[in-house]
Structure formats: structure tokens, C-alpha cells
A and B are shown apart, each in its own frame.
Chain A
Amino acid sequence: MSPPRFRPGQPVRVKAWFPPGHCRTPFYTRGKRGRILDLVDVEPDPEERAYGRPGLPAVPVWRVVFDQHELWPDYRGPAQDRVVVGIFEPWLEPVEEAG
């Protein structure tokens, strides 16, 4: 297992991947920017386990905070409304701090 790549507060983007098959990355987060909240755990990869394989090495899972306005451009609530989603590390890439 490689060491976790991210740190709390770090801006990240969910990869805009659209593979067939089982995964645990909600469609509505794909390609969206968020911030790392914390490391949940290191877990066997569900994309492998779903097909009867062990899913090892285990994969870090991060809680990522998304602003509602990032997820839904037409969101009508206050700017501080947000969604927290557990995302498996291979789906995340670092992005530059917002200017």
C-alpha cells in the first residue's frame, strides 16, 4: 500500500471517469472540485471486491467536502451548504488552490 497522497484541507478534483462496472464514486461528484476533510480508512478496493477478488492492496478513502454550488450550478441555498462524500483515492487528483 502506498502512503496516503493527500492532507486535510487540500483541494482535489474527482476524476471524470465513466467506466462500466461497479464503483462507489457517485456520478454527481465526477469532475467536481472539493476539499479533503479527513482520511476515513484504508479499505479493500470495492471495484475489485465486487467481482470476487480481494481488492488488495487496500486503498485510502478520503472524506471530501463539496460546496453545493460546485455540485449544482443552479443550487439556491446559502454558500456554506455542502455535501461530504467518501471517495476512494484513485478517483482523486490534486488541483491548484483556487485563486
Chain B
Amino acid sequence: MRRHHDMGGLPAGPVERTEHEHAPWEKKVDAILRLLVAEKVMTLDELRRGIEELGPGAYDELSYFERWIRSIANILLEKGVITVHELATAIEAARARRAAAEACPKTVPAP
């Protein structure tokens, strides 16, 4: 069977020459992956397998680094490095930090 990521030779439209400067959160995903590989917590092969197992829908709908962080999360859960409970709590905490930062009022007028 052909897995969805294995797309060499399939019909496709013109190459849309899109580019974007990576956002800080995307670079952070990249950094986390590099360090987890360097520290031998997971391998690139596991990252790839995790991306493939997101399935065709997610593969096409998610952005590149969204696929990466989803795969990293699943592999870390699978290996018992983190738990679902910890992850749920940490996501909530991250959102709360962001909300607090966004609520930071403008205290001086722009020059």
C-alpha cells in the first residue's frame, strides 16, 4: 500500500513558489526536535512515522510544523516521556500565560 506521504510521481498542479519566514514558534518546534534527537529521546524515523500516522486528512490540512509538533507529542506520549494529563494541564497553562500577556495594557503612548 502507498502511504499518503509517499507522493513521488503522483499527479499534482503547478509548483506554487510560496515561502515564509519561520515564526518563532516554528523555530521552537525545530529546536525541540533537534534536541530530542540529540539527547536520544526520539529519532527522526519516529518523527516521520508519527507524521505519516496523522493520516491523509491531517497531513494535508496541517501546516508543516503543526505536523511536526503533533508527531512529537504523540511519540512522547507513546514513550511515556509525558502523560496526557500533564499535557492537558500544560496546554491550559500556556494559554493562560498568553492571555495574561495579551491583557498587558498599553501604558505609554507611542512616540
The residues of A with any CB-CB pair to B shorter than 8 Å are: 18, 20, 22, 26-28, 46, 49-52, 55, 71-72
Contacts and interface: CB of A to CB of B under 8 A. Distances in A.
B7 to A, nearest CB: 8
Given A18-B1, A27-B2, A51 B9 contact: no
Contact of A46 (B3, B9, B45, B78): B45
A26 B3 CA distance: 10
Contacts of B26: none
B79 interface: yes
Contacts of A26: 6, 8
A26 B6 CA distance: 6
B9 A71 contact: yes
A69 to B, nearest CB: 14
A21 B48 CA distance: 11
The 10 closest A-B pairs by CB, nearest first: A50-B49, A49-B45, A50-B45, A22-B49, A28-B9, A46-B45, A27-B2, A28-B8, A27-B6, A49-B43
Given A22-B45, A46-B45, 6 more contacts: A18-B1, A18-B2, A26-B6, A27-B6, A49-B46, A55-B45
A22 B1 contact: no
